Structure 1
Amino acid sequence: MADRVPTRVAVSVALGTLLNPLNSSMIAVGLVALQGEFHVSLATSTWLISAFYLAASVGQPVMGRLADRYGPRRVFTAGLALVGATGILVLFAPGFGWVVAARVLQAIGTSVGFPAGLALIRRLAGGRPPAGTLGVLSAANSASASFGPVLGGVLVAAFGWRGIFAVNIPLAATGLLLARRWLPADPPERPAASVARVPFLDLRGLLGHPALIGVLVLQVAVQCVFYLVFFGLPQWLERIRGYPVAVTGLLMLPIALGTLLIPLAARVVRRYGAPMAMLIGSLGLLGGAVGLLSLGNRSGALSLVAVGALLGLPNAFSNLALQAGLYAAAPAAQTGTAAGLFQTGRYVGAILSTAVLGAVYGGAPSTAGLHRTAFIVAVSAVLLAAAVPLIPVPGGRHRARPASRSVPATSRPVP
């Protein structure tokens, strides 16, 4: 069944969505330059990462709730405007504290994209997940996070550390222009009296949906396993195998290229449902764990690439399955809030992965530590496969609302 979301809407939402993961990963290659200019230590400079993660973790559900209450298009465009303004202001930052403050504002602005975008898509498409559109959003999230350091490296080399902030100015301006032209207008606001009777962030009511809780728990687990590999494998490649940083990046590329399978994952979701896509992702993760167990000090580059390709499967199948499950489980009126909590789960999973990585590697990376990591990944893959029934199957009971005339009639749905 074809998606009911016009292609122009999907592209506009995707552009706003990619800004958060892009900015969360680009900063890594700018830390050294920032340390040199402001004469701060490595530990101090990491506040640029921690502040962004903390602000985004809180900001995602809050921005989602604002989208539910005041309209997704209105909040979506406000977030893009904040991102663009932050990109301009940081160019004149007189001290390191100002840059940290800019990162907090940047995190809040970029936190709008996914929750507001999903709320808008839900209003257009109704209760059945539009697999093609969700695939576009998943690809935007995964690809921008994976290739952020590459783009950041180019920008820092050409323009210095300010380049990784300045690039948000044209991106936000383009996103704002497309949003105002292509996104449908918000419905009329509810009367103030009815809004006042509803708690601003009704987490208790939202978490009263068992299917939604299941999706959020699975999101934390999937992201924890992903980042456990994404953070741990490069350390083993550099410290134990002695690969240069550039070669390590190339060997990690197959994991990132798993996003190329998202169109296939969308087809699976559309035809067989989100649980089947989750099962495929879990089996790929199990195969990757077995591959990690086989790696040693003499493993060739071909073996490393093959293992990375298997570990890239969950990037496409599991992530898209969880997005479709979220779409089906979230109450229609609280889609933005639920989507924000879903994104918070990504940050929680990343934070948990660092604790697990410290436990399995101990003081330093080792092949034995990599194999312990592989064992954890294998157990997680089995548990995720067993949890497939927790992913809800949409009943299609929510009807799509007609799109505003601001969406051109010639805009075709995402296939």
Structure 2
Amino acid sequence: MTTAVRFDRRLIAPMILGSILNPVNSSMMAVALIPIGLAFGAPPAETAWLVSGLYLATAVGQPVVGRLIDIYGPRRLFLAGTGLAGIAGVLGMVAPSLWVLVVARVLLGLGTCAGYPAAMYLIRRESDRTGQQTQAWVLTMLSVCTQTIAVIGPTLGGLLIGAGGWHTIFSVNIPLSLASIVLGALYLPGTEVHKGQLKSIDFTGIALFTAMLITLLLFLMHPGGGDWYLLVLTATAGTGFVIRELGAPEPFLDLRVLAGNGPLLATYGRTLLFYVVAYAFLYGYTQWLEEGRGLSASVAGLLLLPLSGTSVLVAALTGRRVEVRGKLVAGTISLIVSCVLMTIVGAGTALWLLAVVAVLMGIPQGLNNLANQNALYHQADPARIGSSAGLLRTFGYLGAITASVANGGFLGANAGTSGMHHLAVFLLVIAVVLLAATLVDRSLKKYGKEEIRGSHHD
């Protein structure tokens, strides 16, 4: 009688800790911008770089670090990244000026890039080692933890600021970094590095990709005015990137393989569209609750708790099923219904109906994020799972930045009901396109034919 080979559960703690570093730093800043602005006498246009700096660093860094993980394995990159996050936390605590604080946020963005690609790499490695095609329970745990920390981040940040000022939101990185380093050093597997591997890294491709993405993101953050030259720079860098990658013997992103992987490209596209709606709702709806509906910040926060609770519950209940297409369809239909309700709520709408909107928006948060993550796990080239996972996060941040632009355009300085209704119509269109893109993707049907055996094999 043979004993089943099981997933190495010692990997779970460093995987989770590394993966939550990015969402906790991203979400806590939402409640810190005003006190930081007051502390340094900085206007919103300057404090906005505390958010944009992390977005830029993460959107560019995730696929780059992910590719390095594919080459070198997760251990070195994980330890270096989480160590950098700790250093950035210290710098943020003692920052004498706003722009030093922005540097700390950029370092945080870079330092937190390794967590998620490393986790996906390890899940794929363990699947190969154990002979199990999927590890749905681990994927679900990863998704639930990152979602949970993202939605409770503002509440946690508010408590920390109330207890010790805005500096405290940077201090949380120190214990998280130390714990990640200790657990990573103890349990993450080492990978032998050969002398020729450094030469095989496509530094030119990485540089062109970085230039292309930074100029595109800078334009998306400020699409008006005289910044059209950024699109010219994006197109120039993009052209050079394509030429380089098509001719490189070991490209940073294998465009031939990527272009031929329609299902994976569709997953990236769905992720971008979903994040546009999700982030525009999270920030736009909250802003309207306070300014348009006239609620206090605490009451608005309480009305969003059903969103987080629903998303975590739905992900936990459905996570052990391999099903991808059904989750995406159900989640996107709920997204559409919530957008429709947003078009009819107003200054006199009952609180229970406002909470219902949040519940309906929580369903796709639980279903779509998990389904897209599971789809990528099956669709990506196993040898490039790290860079593929990092690129998924890049498309998510593209959606988040697009959502920020949409909120600014529709809500303006005062988030009135009329502006929120126009935003809702825009989001409804995006959600309908997302549903259509899901329905026509026949490749999704093959995921979910079998039930995950879960703990019987784990």
TM-score (norm 1): 0.87
Decide whether the 8 Å contact of 2:55 with 2:109 is kept in 1: yes
Residues 68, 95 of structure 1: alpha-carbon distance in 2 compared, 3 angstrom cutoff: same
Matched, 1:262 2:315: yes
| RMSD, aligned α-carbons | 2.6
Quick one: distance in 1 between partners of 2:362 and 2:76?
36
Distance in 2 between residues matched to 1:286 and 1:198, nearest whole Å: 45
Amino acid at match of 1:176: I
Q: Which runs of 5+ in 1 are unaligned?
A: 397-411
Correspondence for 1:202: 253
For residues 212-291 of structure 1, the aligned pairs below 5 Å read 212-257=264-309, 258-267=311-320, 269-270=321-322, 273-291=323-341
Q: Distance in 1 between matches of 2:15 and 2:380?
A: 19
Which residue type is aligned with residue 342 of structure 1? L
Runs of 4+ in 1 over 4 A off after TM superposition: 391-396, 412-415
In the TM superposition, residue 225 of structure 1 has moved relative to its aligned partner by 0.8
* SS of match in other structure, 2:42: coil
| Cross-structure match for 2:263 | 211
| Residues 216-242 of structure 1: per-residue CA shift (max 9 Å, x gap) | 111000000111211211122112211
Provide, for residues 116-164 of structure 1, a one-character-per-residue CA deviation record: whole Å limited to 9, x for no partner: 2111211111484422111111112211121111111121222222211
Equivalence map 1:159-178=2 (5 Å): 159-178=164-183
| Distance (Å, rounded) in 1 between the aligned partners of 2:359 and 2:102 | 36
CA gap 1:101/1:220 in 2 versus in 1, 3 angstroms: same
Aligned pairs for 1:358-377 within 5 A: 358-361=408-411, 364-377=414-427
Q: How many residues align?
A: 395
Tell me what 1:85 maps to. 87
Q: Is the 8 A contact 2:92 2:167 kept in 1?
A: yes
- Give the direction of change, closer, same or farther, for the CA distance of 1:190–1:281 in structure 2 (3 Å limit): farther
What does residue 409 of structure 1 align with?
A: none
Deviation at 1:256? 2.0
Task: Kindly state the Cα deviation for residue 251 of structure 1 after the two structures are TM-superposed.
Answer: 0.9
Structure 1 residues 395, 370: CA separation in 2 closer, same or farther (over 3 Å shift)? closer
User: Per the alignment, do residues 242 and 135 of structure 1 end up closer, same or farther by CA in structure 2, a change over 3 Å counting?
Assistant: same
Aligned residues of 1:289 and 1:378 also touching (Cα < 8 A): yes
How big is each residue's C-alpha offset from its partner over 1:3-22, in whole Å with a ceiling of 9 and x where there is no partner? 95333323321111011011
Aligned residue for 2:342?
A: 292
Structure 1 equivalent of residue 184 of structure 2: 179
Counterpart contact for 1:6–1:413, Cα < 8 Å: no
Work out the CA distance in 1 between the residues paired with 2:456 and 2:251. 34
**1:284 & 1:3 partners in 2: Cα distance?**
39
5 Å-filtered alignment, 1:49-198, equals 49-126=51-128, 128-183=133-188, 185-190=189-194, 192=196, 196=200, 198=249
What residue ranges of structure 2 are gaps of 5+ in the alignment?
201-247, 449-454
Distance 1:362 1:182, change over 3 A: same
Match of 1:301 among 326, 329, 351: 351
**Aligned-residue offset at 1:249:** 0.8
Superposition map of 1:375-414 within 5 A: 375-388=425-438, 389-390=440-441, 392=444
Shift in Å, 1:275:
1.1
Q: Which has the higher contact order (CA 8 A, sep 6+)?
A: 1
Structure 1 residues 395 and 167, CA gap change in structure 2 (3 angstroms): closer
Identity over aligned pairs, percent: 36
Conserved in 1, the CA contact under 8 Å of 2:270 and 2:434? Answer: yes
Give the distance between the partners of 1:315 and 1:136, measured in 2 at CA: 14
20-29 or 120-129, which deviates more: 120-129
- TM-score between both structures, scaled by the size of structure 2: 0.80
Aligned to 1:139, the other structure's residue is in SS state helix
1:48-105: CA deviation from partner (whole Å, max 9, x where unpaired): 1111111111111111011111111221121111111222233333333222211111
State the alpha-carbon separation in 1 of the partners of residues 335 and 417 from structure 2. Answer: 19
Using a 3 Å threshold, how does the CA distance of structure 1 residues 150 and 393 change in structure 2: closer, same or farther?
A: same
How far did residue 32 of structure 1 move? 3.0
- The 3-state SS of whatever aligns with 2:104 is helix
**Alpha carbons of structure 1 residues 364 and 304: separation in structure 2 relative to 1, 3 Å:** same
Is residue 2:327 matched to residue 1:325? no
Between 1:192-201 and 1:58-67, the stretch displaced more is 192-201
After TM superposition, the structure 1 stretch with the greater mean CA deviation from structure 2, 102-111 or 139-148, is 139-148
- In 1: Cα distance, 2:295 partner to 2:20 partner: 30
- Structure 1 CA distance for aligned equivalents of residues 430 and 144 of structure 2: 23
Structure 2 Cα separation of the partners of residues 4 and 377 of structure 1: 43
CA contact (8 A) 2:117 2:387 kept: yes
Q: Distance in 2 between matches of 1:194 and 1:377?
A: 45
Could you tell me how far 1:191 is from its partner in structure 2? 5.3
Aligned partners of 1:13 and 1:113 also within 8 Å: yes
**Is the CA contact 1:10–1:414 (under 8 Å) kept in the aligned structure 2?**
no
Report the secondary structure of 1:372's partner residue. Answer: helix
Contact 1:91 1:166 in 2 (8 A): yes
